[in-house]
Amino acid sequence: MKSDKIDLDCWNSWTEKSSDEKFDRIGQGIGKGEYKLGAEFDVEPEGQNSSTHDLYVMNEKWEIKKLDDNDNSFRLGVKISASYLNIKIKVLNCFNALSKIQDQLVSGIIKEKINKIINSANSKHGRSEKSIIDGLYTNEVSGSNFDKLDELIEELKEITHNIEKEITFRNIQEIELYSSYDGKKIIYSTIDAFRKINLEKISKEKKINLFGDSEFFNKIYIYSELFEDLKLFKDTTFKKKLNKITRDVFNDVRLILVDKQKGFWPVSNIENIYCYRITHGGPRVRVKNL
Give residues in contact with DNA (CB under 7 A). Answer: 26-34, 51, 54, 64-66, 68-71, 74-75, 77-78, 124, 126-130, 135, 138, 140-145, 258, 277, 279-280
Phi, psi of 151 (to 5 degrees): -65, -45
SS3 content of the chain, % helix, strand, coil (to 5): 50, 15, 35
- Asked if residues 290 and 65 have their Cβ atoms less than 8 Å apart, the reply is no
Minimum distance from residue 282 beta carbon to DNA (Å)? 9
Minimum distance from residue 42 beta carbon to DNA (Å)? 20
Q: Which helix (H) or strand (E) holds 90?
A: helix 81-101
Nearest alpha carbon to residue 8 among 62, 70, 71? 62
Task: Return the DSSP state at 12.
Answer: B
Minimum distance from residue 33 beta carbon to DNA (Å)? 6
Minimum distance from residue 96 beta carbon to DNA (Å)? 20
Our CB check for DNA shows the closer of 49 and 203 to be 49
Our CB check for DNA shows the closer of 65 and 207 to be 65
Minimum distance from residue 133 beta carbon to DNA (Å)? 12
Our CB check for DNA shows the closer of 45 and 193 to be 45
Our CB check for DNA shows the closer of 26 and 172 to be 26
Interior angle at CA 256, CA 250 and CA 260, nearest 5: 145
Minimum distance from residue 59 beta carbon to DNA (Å)? 20
Phi, psi of 56 (to 5 degrees): -120, 105
Our CB check for DNA shows the closer of 44 and 215 to be 44
Q: How many helices (H) and strands (E) does the chain have?
A: 9, 9
Our CB check for DNA shows the closer of 72 and 115 to be 72
* SS3 state at 254: strand
